[in-house]
Amino acid sequence: MSSDAVDVPIKDEKIRLGQFLKLANLIDSGSDAKPLLADGR
């Protein structure tokens, strides 16, 4: 995992983790977050 900080554009005050991971280009869809977290990644 890279330690380089990356700005992620967030428009609202609150955001769901799946939305954040998608905006950060770490997953393809917000719904991909649940299985990713269940696997401990």
Tokens matching residue 37: 């977290």
Angle at 11 between CA 30 and CA 38, to 5 degrees: 25
What is the value of pTM for the model shown? 0.64
Q: Is the pLDDT of residue 2 over 60?
A: no
- What is the structure's pLDDT at 7? 84
- What is the structure's pLDDT at 8? 83
- What is the structure's pLDDT at 5? 75
- What is the structure's pLDDT at 30? 82
Q: Per the structure, how many domains does the chain have?
A: 1
In the chain, the N- to C-terminal Cα span, in Å, equals 11
Q: Tell me, yes or no, whether 6 lies in a domain.
A: no
Residue 7, CB-side half-sphere exposure with 13 Å CA sphere: 2
Residue ranges making up the domain that contains 23: 14-41
Q: Tell me, yes or no, whether 4 lies in a domain.
A: no
Q: Tell me, yes or no, whether 2 lies in a domain.
A: no
Over residues 3-41, the pLDDT tens digits come to 677 788 888 899 888 888 888 888 898 889 889 889 887
